[in-house]
Structure 1
Amino acid sequence: MNFNNKVIWITGASSGIGKHLAIELSNLGAKLILSSRNIEALETVKNLCNQSSEIKLITLDLENYNTLESKVEEAISAFKTIDILVNNGGISQRSFAKETSIDVDKRIMDVNYLGTIALTKALLPHFIKNQNGHFVTTTSIVGKIGTPLRSSYAASKHALHGFFDSLRAEIHTNNIAITLVCPGFVNTNISLNALTGNGKAQNKMDNATKNGIAPEHFARLMAKAIYKKKQEVYIAGFKEKLGVYTKRFFPKLLSKMIRKLSVT
């Protein structure tokens, strides 16, 4: 497995899954464009990668999705082409639906859904022109199963599945692949940064997240799924994967199981 001379653009690349995926793909020979809001953190990630001369940094904010067309032009000009876009940027949530401000619902949808599809749509003409390309989107097991304290987050991730499944059918004749990557619990700062009902960060690590898959291991499995152009892949623990298949075949049973999940 290698990505020699492949140009790969990763959003949400300053930490967590994006950071470790950047390191992994750099080791596999890719040329990288790394994006997030934090240029200092991106510089740190760049210095951890191989071939730093083959890495370009572009700051962007997915919440400002009306500005993303100019970011696409900037990204294409970096290496004259883009082969793979990894839509990895996003924010999570930890709050009951009844206690979540509609402004928080909107922000999560703006970042996770509208920002992601706006960037995808802006890059799509480039892929169609080249008759080649690959959209990779980090969704979540919660994009398949809604769980307590994550109503807005689950909604945004479910929406991504609907959009990209439809898009895949529309562009299948253009030699453009779509991979949906569904993480379970991964040991990153996602729960620390998750929004509470009033829009403030939780600033607390969930036990399940703390005990989740090591991000380095996750990145290796994600790189393999990208290389194989998997349509959808679940990179998660046994219980999370079991939940996906239980919902498919025994939805009523899963509903009873979900009710018993800890909400503290």
Structure 2
Amino acid sequence: MDKVIWITGSSSGIGKAMAMSYASQGAQLILSARNKKALEAVKSSCSNPDKIKVFPLDLSDNKDLSSVVRQAIDFFGKVDILINNAGISQRALVKDTVLEVDRQIFEVNYFGTIALTKALLPHFLDRNSGQFVVISSVVGKIGTPLRSSYSASKHALHGFYDSLRAENYEQGIKVTIICPGFVNTDVSINALTGKGEKQGTKDKATANGLSPDYFAKKAINAIRSERQEIVIGGKLELLAVYVKRFFPLVLSRMVRKVDVT
């Protein structure tokens, strides 16, 4: 594979699994996250580490990412695919969530993601080629309790990237939105409570979710096929998306009673 693939949030979980899978295929990778030590560990565990660049990045600091993008392009002379995977989840009721936490979630999940995309877009346009991949969530399509701003931030990404896709279709720019259901990662451990602290525990549903390796395989196939949007999850998550589309009132009743953590 001669693609240069930039993956944010690649120090663990979904991002790490996708990095390891792409590395085994011989791709050139740029791995970004806040934790440099964790990124170095991912690089060491990958095939062909000589084709991997570790590039620490904090998407909450997103006022001007043009210099960041220039550095990333300089590693291999181009970027073919940007996988926007970095994000923060939430575990708190609306009434218990202070506004600063809502802003923090949006700063990373939405503003950080689109800021990086906007900074890289001119490079894609100059080449008349490029693919933006967005790791959204099933709750980017369905709002559930304890996920209000997380869900809202993912809903916002759908609107932004659907518009970007339409605006740049003739220029050869592709957009793939991937909506995971429950995947067995540390996402719930790192999720923010209403006061902004990390939850520190793994949800039962998350622990019983898809393996990151299985998810990565499905996601990479969708990216290769240039799918516009795909949901990757268990039977219940897939059913919920179907019911939302065709029987929204039924789903509304179901969500009220769902036992989420």
Q: TM-score range by the shorter chain?
A: over 0.9
Give the count of matched residue pairs.
261
Tell me how far 1:263 sits from its aligned partner: 4.2
Matched, 1:233 2:233: no
User: Is residue 192 of structure 1 aligned with residue 179 of structure 2?
Assistant: no
**Deviation above 3 Å: which 4+ runs of structure 1?**
none
Does residue 1:89 correspond to 2:72, yes or no?
no
Equivalent AA in structure 1 for residue 249 of structure 2: K
CA RMSD between the two structures: 0.7
Question: Identity of counterpart residues, as a percentage?
Answer: 57
User: Would the aligned equivalents of 1:58 and 1:71 in 2 still touch at CA under 8 Å?
Assistant: no
TM-score (normalised: structure 1)? 0.98
1:41 is aligned, of 6, 30, 38, to 38
Where does structure 1 lack aligned partners over 5 or more consecutive residues?
none
Say whether residues 1:55 and 2:57 are aligned partners: no
The separation in 2 between residues aligned to 1:132 and 1:88, in whole angstroms, is 20
- Cross-structure match for 2:112: 115
Displacement, 1:33?
A: 0.3
- Name the CA distance, whole Å, in 1 between partners of 2:5 and 2:260: 38
User: Which of 189, 208, 213 is the matching residue for 1:216?
Assistant: 213
CA distance in 1, matches of 2:96, 2:152: 16
Long gaps (5+) in structure 2: none
Q: Give 3-state SS (helix, strand or coil) of 2:176's partner.
A: strand
Deviation of 1:67 after TM superposition, in Å, equals 3.8
Q: Tell me, what secondary structure is at the counterpart of 1:193?
A: coil
TM-score, scaled to structure 2 = 0.99
What SS is found at the alignment partner of 1:177? strand
Counterpart mapping for 1:73-152 below 5 A: 73-152=70-149
Aligned-pair distance for 1:29? 1.7
What is the CA-CA distance between 1:217 and the residue it aligns to? 0.7
Corresponding letter in the other structure for 1:103: E
1:184–1:240 Cα contact (<8 Å) kept: yes
What are the superposed Cα offsets for residues 165-220 of structure 1, whole Å, 9 maximum, x if unpaired? 01100000010100000000000000000000000000011000000000111111
What do the CA deviations read for 1:221-256 (whole angstroms, capped 9, x no partner)? 111111101000111001001111101100000000
Task: Report the counterpart of residue 22 of structure 2 in structure 1.
Answer: 25
